[in-house]
Structure 1
Amino acid sequence: MNSGIINVYKEAGYTSFDVVARLRGILKIKKIGHTGTLDPDATGVLPVCVGKATKLCDMLTDKDKVYECVMMLGVETDTYDLSGRVLSRNSVTASEEEIVNAINSFVGDIMQVPPMYSALKINGKKLYELAREGKEVERKPRPVTIFSIDILNISLPEVSIRIHCSKGTYIRSLCHDVGEVLGCGCAMKSLVRTRVSMFDIADARTLDEIERIVKAGNLDGIMLKVDQAFEGMETVFVIPTEDAIKHAVNGVPIPATDVFAESISGFEDGKRYRIYLPDNRFIGVYSYNDNLFTLEKMFLE
């Protein structure tokens, strides 16, 4: 079975679950998982893990992301975007300088309250399910990091921005909070995710494109191999002895004496490494401490 990661371009109208369901049909594989939800109206990068790569889902969900967003000032909705019920409309009296300052005030480590219309669970129930029942519950602020915000265009009442942020950041909440600072309200008009870790929108494929590629027998051409997701890590090989290979295949911790690495002069405690069998098959990601490599996640086919 093929294992790897496909950079899907999620089109508007699809939920992340819809994308996975359709891919299961296209690839004829059940073991598929996505790496973090995108709102149905949002578009852009959705890395999808196939086969053994599903073990990567939580690792990729933790990665930083880049979005492009159009904010609509002067309107407030219950969903924090324009799909929701309008709660108020206000004139926008703030100057461009005040708008820029309000947006930039959110750069850095901030505490953010998730929107009621989100997939977060409280007491086992998703927030959006409670919201649809007309219930609003207290949501605790959560720490997120906004690494940068670039203002692309101001054409009031619309403002276009690019946001580089940590996992768990809600762009709808950011829009709402900017509206609170300016006192006129703000809702998200549109959202495109342009990057998740190493996955860029320029390389993303729509589901229709993927279906055509699979029918042509070219799936390998668009599927990133599992080990490529860890390209920043140094590469280590198990020595070609029967005992060393047997221990590695069974997930047993590997002593430093049972590996070799051509380009590494010494191993660092607390560092993570990619380890391979002598025949170049990727075993998994290991952490190194006290002359011992301990398996974190195995991906061996």
Structure 2
Amino acid sequence: MHYVSESTKEYECVMQVHSDFDQEKLKSVISKFKGKIYQRPPVRSSVSRRLRTRKIFEIEVQEIEGKMVLMRIVSEHGTYMRKICHDVGLMSGYGAHMRELRRTRTGIFDERNLVTMHEVSEAVYMWKNCKDETYLRGMVMPMEIATCGIPKIMVDDNAVNAIAYGAKLTAPGVVGFQEFKKDDLVCVITTKGELVSVGKALVDYRRLAKVDKGEVATTDRVFIDRDVYPRKWGEGNRSSA
């Protein structure tokens, strides 16, 4: 959940403008918020009010009714929508505040993936009392889905168990990879697509393509059980002396 909560967010936001306004002028002001912006968290927030940068990937006006403006906003995590509304009001000169907000997507998960607790309760009942796990299997997703937005490094079977015990990933175990930069968050997966670990890249993907030894990524979180794959380290020739 830590990695999911720090992924891209999408919102449906209703902004109330404080005075009569020109729609085209307001839309022009709103469009200027796309890209990197400076933002200081509002007074009522759980973090320190230091000036910071956040990225707005998409911001668009979907509907205007009276003084109510419905916007769709896709942003970096940690962006305050009510602060965007307030700043739009300042920049336009009309004044504004956030009236309603609904988060519609976090990372790979959006409203279309949601099920109600009532539906979960019924699925569990069917599983426990009727031995029918069909409904429950339709709701429970593999944890690998949560990592869809994170670059992957694929390793061979002989490297898996060492990583499961906390070892860093080294170049000889790598069999494939996606594009990533040094210090990026990366996922290590098996050739079957199973999530092994999550860590920080120690080289970028271009460097990785040219090396055959050395450390490639740290192991910050392990998700696979130990000894699911065979233990292969320490099997080299040993001195009999």
Deviations 1:106-150 (A, max 9, x none): 221111122222222x4xxxxxxxxxxxxxxxx332211111211
Alignment equivalent of 1:236, drawn from 154, 166, 170: 154
**Comparing both chains, which one has the higher relative contact order based on Cα–Cα distances under 8 Å and sequence gaps of 6 or more?**
1
1:148-167 paired onto structure 2 within 5 Å: 148-167=58-77
Q: Quick check: 1:60 aligned with 2:4? A: yes
Deviation at 1:288, TM superposition (A): 5.7
Match for residue 20 of structure 2?
93
Match for residue 15 of structure 1?
none
Alignment equivalent of 1:175, drawn from 82, 85, 90: 85
Deviations 1:151-187 (A, max 9, x none): 1011121111100111111111111111222333212
Match for residue 275 of structure 1?
189
Paired residue type of 2:165: N
Match for residue 115 of structure 1?
42
CA distance in 1, matches of 2:21, 2:50: 29
Match for residue 162 of structure 2?
247
Q: Quick check: 1:102 aligned with 2:12? A: no
Match for residue 238 of structure 2?
none
Q: Against the structure 1 CA distance between its residues 157 and 62, is the aligned structure 2 distance closer, same or farther, given a 3 Å change threshold?
A: same
Task: Tell me whether 143-152 or 280-289 shows the greater mean CA deviation.
Answer: 280-289
Larger radius of gyration: 2
Task: Judging by fraction of residues, say which structure has more strand.
Answer: 1
Q: Which runs of 5+ in 1 are unaligned?
A: 1-56, 75-91, 123-138
CA distance in 2, matches of 1:141, 1:267: 31
Deviation at 1:280, TM superposition (A): 7.0
Deviations 1:31-90 (A, max 9, x none): xxxxxxxxxxxxxxxxxxxxxxxxxx222222111111111111xxxxxxxxxxxxxxxx
Paired residue secondary structure (2:166): coil
Paired residue secondary structure (1:224): coil
Q: CA RMSD in A?
A: 2.9
Alignment equivalent of 2:117, drawn from 207, 215, 226: 207
Match for residue 299 of structure 1?
223
Deviation at 1:248, TM superposition (A): 2.8
TM-score scaled by length of structure 2: 0.72
Paired residue secondary structure (1:216): helix
Match for residue 105 of structure 2?
195
Paired residue secondary structure (1:117): coil
Deviation at 1:267, TM superposition (A): 9.5
1:256-267 paired onto structure 2 within 5 Å: 256-259=171-174, 261=175, 264=176
Paired residue type of 1:227: E
Q: Percent identity?
A: 27
Deviations 1:238-275 (A, max 9, x none): 334xxx5552331112433345x3xx399988473423
Aligned residues: 204
Paired residue secondary structure (1:177): helix
TM-score scaled by length of structure 1: 0.59
Runs of 4 or more consecutive aligned structure 1 residues displaced over 6 Å after TM superposition: 265-269
Deviation at 1:281, TM superposition (A): 5.2
Match for residue 223 of structure 1?
140
Q: Which runs of 5+ in 2 are unaligned?
A: 128-134, 204-210, 226-241
Q: Against the structure 1 CA distance between its residues 208 and 279, is the aligned structure 2 distance closer, same or farther, given a 3 Å change threshold?
A: same
Q: Against the structure 1 CA distance between its residues 288 and 275, is the aligned structure 2 distance closer, same or farther, given a 3 Å change threshold?
A: farther
